[in-house]
Every structure is written in structure tokens, then in C-alpha cells.
Amino acid sequence: MSTLSRKGQLSRDEVAHLAHLARLAVTDEELDLFADQLAAVLDAVAQVGKAAVEDVPPTTHAVPMTNVVRPDVARPSLPRDVVLAGAPAAEDGRFRVPRILQEEA
Amino acid sequence: MSDVPSMNVDELQAALADGATSVDVTRAYLDRIAAADGELGAYLHVDPEAALARAAEMDSAGTRGTGLTGIPIALKDVVVTEGVPTTSGSKILEGWKPPYDATVAARLKAAGTVLLGKTNMDEFAMGSSTENSAYGVTRNPWDPQRIPGGSSGGSSAAVAGGLAPWAIGTDTGGSIRQPAALTGLVGHKPTYGSVSRYGLIAFSSSLDQAGPMARTVLDAALLHEAIGGYDPLDSTSIDAPLPVLAEAARRGAEGSLAGLRVGVVRELGGEGHADGYEDGVLTSFGAAVARLEAMGAEVREISCPAFDLALAAYYLIAPSEASSNLARFDGVRYGLRVGDDGARDLDEVMALTREQGFGPEVKRRIILGTYALSSGYYEAYYGQAQKVRTLISRDFSAAWDGRNGDGVDVLVSPTTPTVAFPLGARVDDPIAMYAADLCTLPASLAGVPAISVPCGLSEGLPVGFQIMAPALADDRCYRVAAALEAALTDERGDRGFLDQLAARAATTEGAA
């Protein structure tokens, strides 16, 4: 990714870019604070690079996993009104979402 | 029943079997909450009327006086509870009432327990002090100027303070064991996959486990038996019978550890690895090891070199998984929505919602996780961390198997490098905060069970002793912890470790 510089460093601009990717509208103060703190954290976690890991397989999960399937039987879902009761906005029995198209699209 | 809040659960069971009512027992805890929670801040939600109604229902149930019927309990607010507010310590879920029960909550309900309330926690379980809660700090009953540990700090403070007889916590990198250690409780992180994650608000899915926090080893085992076992609703659930845990605790309390092989982990506070560990913690830990030896255990030092990298690997793996898990908080299906004025589009509303709904530590971890997973950095960070995770599991395997038959049955270490630190001491320094999890991370990454049991006081504050065992051998943790607990209780001549807190409170009040 061209916007990210060499590892072990994290500039204010990079933090802003990552925050955008993660849909976080961070403030200028947060950018200053996080850039400093994350640089320190990144230094610490970069220690993993010290390990000799040639031919070591990654562990994604502590328990050996195989595909898990359940019987192909329909089960009742939660009632629609119960689910929508927790939504920030609902309309006509559906989730109401913010605008998804641009004016000039 | 004024002495109820200082009773262990097996004593409450005896009282209920003897004719005491759940309403009286529940009221005793509610009174204690009303009196003490203003200062402690252990609970986020308590509904006294609902609790008393449930207790009355249990008093008239056919199962009255048996099992866990009528025993009150507190749940960490990460556990989804039908119709009961659940926030995971975050503003983004303020006011949300889930439409279903987590398996852990459903099993406790089916067992007849009475829900006292939901306990405070670091937001989305990210933290080691409960100071990252969006709803205020929780104080340690041993010293209100100090943290109760985290992220299950509301649960630890509630149980230690007598505001609940026991509680459920969750542990991703130490969030049951560390707060248990800092408040003088027993806390157990089960084998990964042995307690259902269905309905736990996910932080790091390959690490999260729910487990018991209790006054005694036996109580913890009873609670673990009530929540554990296969659940088809969790695809990582292990389809194997739970070992018998309460019986293991009772047998352990008989005191003999003859033939038990114990490994003391050098990398967790041993020679050359004691930086950051308090002398008082190491002294108390060393005395407990000597006590195990006196009970017949064979003790030797074990080196687990990859444990030195556990912290680095954990703080890549957990934030990476969190950055993905927390994508579900998009302001559409539940919780907060900010800035939806008709002019802003979905992306902007989402970004404003998450900006206002998440606290600083959650944002830091989402950003870090996004970075570690990004193209060009994935291999160096996330991929490398997963390989280190393999090395940590291999260190455990080597310890259990040994060479030429010199393997060990359990590994032990201090639970945390220090006793409870003062409120505010580490909030501005993430790295210092993360160091509180140094000893608990290896078992989390390898998915093996680990228990913390109190082993003494340092500067008047509790010290925890950690016992780790192979996957699915949770019963070993309980057996060894019960043996140590019984020996220390005998020596003090009291009813349990928390009697020291009661004695101390009495002295303070007397002096005031």
C-alpha cells in the first residue's frame, strides 16, 4: 500500500488513512495522540519479527478446526418486530439506512 | 440474613436446602449493592424488582433447595441477556436490549440462578483496569484508590466486595485471571472451545472464553460445570464431555499432591526474566511453590522461550480480529446512529457513529488491527504473530511431553507481575497497561486452561498464583488450586482468603 511507509513507523497521515479505512471520523487531537501512542505500540509488537519461524506453520485457532455443519433443517428466526426494536431507525418493517447514493451519481 | 454477602456458594446452597429463601438471600445482596456500589461502581445495570420476582419464582419452583436454584449471580456486560440492557461497556450500545440470551446466560437461567445485574468492564473487554469503560471506573474493594483489574473488573469488584456470591467474566488475554488475582478471587479461563461463545459480544474470536470468578475454588468449579459443555450454536465448541470439576476441587482440598509434576516457567518472573515483577509478588509466589512441594509435588523449572514474544503476538492478533469483529457496529442494525440528517451518506454516518460511540482504546486497537491486516504488512505482522502463536503452543507441548519422560502435569507462574495499581497510573501509557497481561497471555494464545488462585498478600494487597494445564485438563487446574487454597486457609485459620478483606474493613471502620 503506497500510502503506508516503512514498517515500525506510523505517521499522522497514515493514522488518518487507516482511520478512514476503518470508518472512524477521528479528530485532529486524536490523530496527534494516536500517532504517538501507536508508534510506541508498533515498536513493541514488531518484536514478533525476532522469532525464527522458517517452516513454522501459522496457528489461526488453538483448537484444530474442520468444517462444522448442522443438519439442514429450518429453525425459527427472531420475530421481525423484536429485531427492529433494537435498530436506531426502522420504517415499513425494515431497517432504515442513511442515504447510500451521491446526489450526482 | 446479614452474613449472606460473606458466604461461599456451597454455604448458600446449604442454607437454601435448610429452608432459607432465595428472596431473603437475593435481598441481602441487593441491600449490599445499594450500600456499597455507589463507591465501587461494580454494576452497570441492577433491576431489584426483577431480581426479587425471579427469586420468588425460584422459591416456589419444584427444584427449590437443590442445585443452583435460587442462587444469585452477576454477569459481565459482554454477555447478551434477553430484555436486559447489554452494552459491553460501550456508548455505541447504550440502551440496547438484546432479543436473545447468550448460551452462558441461558444455561444459568435454566439452572435456576437469579440475575442480580450486569457488571462494568473495559469497553469491548479491551483493557486491564476497567478504566476503559464508557460508564466510569470501578474501584478495588481492597483499596478504593486502586483498580480492580480488567477487563472483568466489575465482576471482580462485585464478588470481592460481597455484592454478588460469584460472577461470570470473560478472558481474551487474561481478563478473568488478572482481575481475580488483584481482588483475591479464584478465576478460571477454560480450555478454548469448552464454554460456548454464542452470545458473547465478540472481541477476538480465536481467544475469547467465558469462565467463573468466585470466592473459592469449589465455587468456581460449580459455576464452570453449570456453563460448560458442547453447544451447537458455537461452531468452535468442542464436542467432548466436560471433565468433572467440583469433584476435582474437593479431592484437591484433601491436601496430597504426591506424584504431581509441576513446572515453574522461567520466562514468567524467573531468573533473568524478573524485570517489571514486584518483589512482594515473587516472594509470595515462591512461598506457594514451596508449599506445593511440601504437599508432595515434584517441582522443577521449565523454559518456554517463545513466551517472551507472547505480548507482541497477542497485541497483533487480538486487535486484528477486533478490527474485523467491530465492523458490525455500523449504526444500522442496533445501537447508536449519529449524523443521519438526510444530507450525509452512509459512509459519513458510519464514521461519525463510530467516532462518537467508541472510546480511545477501542479506536487505537481498530487502527492497529487495520494496519496489521493491510496489504504489504500482513505477513510481517499478523502472519508472523500467528507463527509465534505456533511456537508458544509448541513450548507448552514440550513442557507436557518432556524429553525422556520428564514432562510436567501443570505449569505455574504469578498471575500478574504486580499487585493492583492506583487508578490513573497507566491510562496514558498503553504499553504499561498491556504489561499487566504478561503472564496470562501464553495460555490464551495456546487455548489451554489456566486458573488464578490467591496465594498471599503483598503490601496488604492480593497476589494471584496461576496454574496452567493441557487442553481439556481443566480438572487439573482445580485440583492443584484447591490443594493450595486449603493449605493456606488452614495456615491462616479462617474460612477463606476474603476473610482477610472483611477483617481489614472492620479494622478500618473501628479506627474511623
Q: Is the pLDDT of residue A105 over 60?
A: no
Catalytic site includes residue B151: yes
CA-CA distance, B69 to B66, in Å (whole number)? Answer: 6
Q: Say yes or no: B374 and B415 in one domain.
A: no
CA-CA distance, B365 to B172, in Å (whole number)? Answer: 14
Categorize the per-residue pLDDT at B2 as very low, low, confident or very high, splitting at 50, 70 and 90: low
B72: its cell numbers: 444469585
Residue-level pLDDT at A67: 84
Q: Tell me the residue length of chain B.
A: 512
Of the candidates B88, B128, B151, B156, the residue annotated as catalytic is B151
Residue-level pLDDT at B456: 98
Catalytic site includes residue B284: no
B144: in domain: yes
As for how many domains chain A has, the answer is: 1
Of the candidates B90, B129, B152, B175, the residue annotated as catalytic is B175
Section B381-387 average pLDDT: 96
- Any A CB within 8 A of B378 CB: no
Contact B233, B105 (CB under 8 A): no
Interface-testing mutation among B307, B371, B437, with chain A (most A C-beta atoms within 10 A): B371
A99: in domain: no
CB-side exposure of B344: number of CA atoms within 13 Å? 13
Please name the amino acid found at residue B32. Answer: R
Residue B301, class by beta-carbon neighbours within 10 Å (0-12 exposed, 13-18 middle, 19+ buried)? exposed
Interface-testing mutation among A12, A23, A103, with chain B (most B C-beta atoms within 10 A): A23
A49: its cell numbers: 519479527
User: Which residue of chain A is at minimal alpha-carbon distance from B324?
Assistant: A22
Q: Is the pLDDT of residue B433 over 60?
A: yes
Categorize the per-residue pLDDT at A101 as very low, low, confident or very high, splitting at 50, 70 and 90: confident
Contact B461, B185 (CB under 8 A): no
Residues 296-355 of B with CB under 8 A from A: 306, 309, 311-313, 315-316, 323, 330-337, 340, 342-352, 354-355
Residue-level pLDDT at A8: 52
- Any A CB within 8 A of B240 CB: no
A77: in domain: no
B506: in domain: yes
- Measured between CB atoms, which of B99, B193, B238 is closest to A86? B99
A100/B389 touch (CB, cutoff 8 Å), yes or no? no
Section A46-74 average pLDDT: 89
Candidate from B103-107, B375-379, B416-420 with smallest mean pLDDT = B375-379
**pLDDT single digits (tens) B245-296:** 999 999 999 989 999 999 999 999 999 999 999 999 999 999 999 999 999 9
Residue-level pLDDT at A1: 39
Contact B464, B420 (CB under 8 A): no
Q: Is the pLDDT of residue B20 over 60?
A: yes
> Percentage of chain A with pLDDT > 90?
70
Q: Say yes or no: B377 and B415 in one domain.
A: no
Q: Is the pLDDT of residue B97 over 60?
A: yes
Longest dimension (CA), chain A: 58
Q: Say yes or no: B173 and B221 in one domain.
A: yes
Give the CATH number for residue A11.
1.10.20.60
A62/B377 touch (CB, cutoff 8 Å), yes or no? no
Give contacts of A99 with chain B, Cβ < 8 Å: 342-346
CA-CA distance, B400 to B262, in Å (whole number)? Answer: 10
Q: Say yes or no: B252 and B362 in one domain.
A: no
Residues 447-476 of B with CB under 8 A from A: 447-448, 471
Rounded to the nearest 5°, which phi and psi values hold at B461?
-120, 150
Cis ω before B151 (30° cut-off from 0): yes
Interface-testing mutation among B367, B381, B448, with chain A (most A C-beta atoms within 10 A): B367
User: Which residue of chain A is at minimal alpha-carbon distance from B323?
Assistant: A22
B361: in domain: yes
**pLDDT single digits (tens) B188-231:** 999 999 999 999 999 999 999 999 999 999 999 999 999 999 99
* Strands B410-414 and B261-265, bridge-based pairing: parallel
Contact B167, B190 (CB under 8 A): no
B297: in domain: no
As for how many domains chain B has, the answer is: 2
As a whole number, the mean pLDDT across chain B is 96
In this prediction the ipTM stands at 0.91
B384/A49 touch (CB, cutoff 8 Å), yes or no? yes
CA-CA distance, B433 to A41, in Å (whole number)? Answer: 11
**pLDDT single digits (tens) B59-92:** 999 999 999 999 999 999 999 999 999 999 999 9
- Measured between CB atoms, which of A4, A34, A97 is closest to B364? A34
Q: Say yes or no: B106 and B60 in one domain.
A: yes
Q: Say yes or no: B82 and B126 in one domain.
A: yes
Torsion angle, alpha carbons of B152, B235, B399, B282, to 10: 0
Q: Any alpha helices (H) in B228-328, and if so which ranges?
A: 246-252, 279-294, 310-325
Residue entry with cell 474485523: B324
Q: Is the pLDDT of residue B420 over 50?
A: yes
Q: Say yes or no: B317 and B247 in one domain.
A: no
Section A17-45 average pLDDT: 95
Q: Which domain holds residue B426?
A: 4-265+410-511
Categorize the per-residue pLDDT at B447 as very low, low, confident or very high, splitting at 50, 70 and 90: very high
Q: Say yes or no: B427 and B484 in one domain.
A: yes
CA atoms B452, B454, B456, B460: torsion sign? positive
Section B127-150 average pLDDT: 98
Residue-level pLDDT at A104: 58
Section B131-145 average pLDDT: 98
Q: Say yes or no: B86 and B123 in one domain.
A: yes
* Strands B114-119 and B72-76, bridge-based pairing: parallel
CA-CA distance, A58 to A66, in Å (whole number)? Answer: 16
Residue-level pLDDT at A65: 72
DSSP 3-state of B146: strand
- Whose CA is closest to B112, among B67, B162, B173? B67
Catalytic site includes residue B76: yes
Categorize the per-residue pLDDT at A6 as very low, low, confident or very high, splitting at 50, 70 and 90: very low
Q: Which domain holds residue A24?
A: 1-50
Contact B219, B480 (CB under 8 A): no
B390: in domain: no
